[in-house]
Amino acid sequence: MKDPEKDDNLDRELESSRRDFLKKLSIAGAATVAGAAAIYTGYHYEKTKESANMIRVLTEDNRLVEIPKDQVKEYASSLTVLQTRGREGIPGKRWVMVIDLSKCRNARKCVEACQGAHHLRPYEYHINTLVMQESVNTPKYFMPKPCQHCDNPPCVSVCPVDATYKRPDGIVLIDNERCIGCRFCMAACPYSARMFHWQEPKDAEADKGKVYDIELNVPQKKGTISKCLFSADRLRENILPYCVSACPNGVYWFGDENEDAVTNGTTKETVSFKELLKKNSGYTLLAELGTKPRVYYLPAKNRLFEFGDTGEDNKEATT
């Protein structure tokens, strides 16, 4: 027969042991949780501290990476890097310019901005404004004339040293590290859009020692060819060309044909490239030559400004 008193004592001992075990377990669990929390907090703190000391940078092959701030150094692009990207252009783009002749009043801010950016003298031009007149019975008007960046450029085919070339994004450039000054390209260009450096460039001393940037064509070099670049250096920074931004009268539209979008440099309005040409009877210069220019013109109709004599004496040509 069982002894009830012994059974009660046993039950009390088991209950006491169970309570002690749970108590110890809870203490151990709390300690573990606290320890884990402390470890996580420390890790989080270290991680935050580490992130604060890092900086994100974009590599030359378009990868976004993090590096310690104390390892950041000023980096000047090498000639090789500038030459390579200058040849490759900007992937996926096909740059175009539209010039509205009805808005040009020969402010020449486009000319000045271009000359300043490319270190040219007042009589050296990558872009100039001409006085045009179709016949004696029609009024005169101003016409800005940059390089036409032809899709079938005769200047490229005649260059014997591959100094002038056509990029996939539509821009025609000149590499003055290769140019030998033969001037074949000047003779081949039907738009007279190139100039020759007969003398030392304007800022030769100030630019001495600088790495040549093919997209800016600076430093300039005596005995080589120079021309409009569509401000390739600005396009790489997603900024409108110098001439387009400087014009106060909204003469220039610039953009990407692939996106069918061009932006006005003055109003900042963006419109369809195709619609702009269609609605305003856009055309190219000397289309019959088959050069396929990437610069388009809108006729000088419904002009905003009357043609006047102001500044007319400093024009390069009258036709």
pTM metric for this prediction: 0.72
How does pLDDT run along the chain (319 residues), one tens digit per residue? Answer: 545 555 555 556 545 555 554 455 454 444 444 454 444 455 555 556 566 788 887 665 657 888 887 777 655 568 888 888 999 999 999 999 999 999 999 999 999 999 999 999 999 999 999 999 988 888 899 999 999 999 999 999 999 999 999 999 999 999 999 999 999 999 999 999 999 999 999 999 999 999 999 999 999 999 999 999 999 999 999 999 999 999 999 999 999 999 999 999 999 999 999 999 999 999 999 999 999 999 999 999 876 566 654 444 444 443 3
Predicted confidence at residue 105, as pLDDT, reads: 94
The 3 state secondary structure assigned to the chain is: CCCHHHHHHHHHHHHHHHHHHHHHHHHHHHHHHHHHHHHHHHHHHHHHHHHHCEEEEECCCCCEEEEEHHHCCCCCCCHHHHHHHHHHCCCCCCEEEEEECCCCCCCCHHHHHHHHHCCCCCCCCCCEEEEECCCCCCCCEEEEECCCCCCCCHHHHHCCCCCEEECCCCCEEECCCCCCCCCHHHHHCCCCCEEECCCCCCCCCCCCCCCCECCCCECCCCCCEEECCCCHHHHCCCCCCHHHHHCCCCCEEEEEHHHCEEEECCCCCEECHHHHHHHCCCECCCHHHCCCCCEEEECCCCCCCCCCCCCHHHCCCEC
The pLDDT score that the predictor gives to residue 296 is: 98
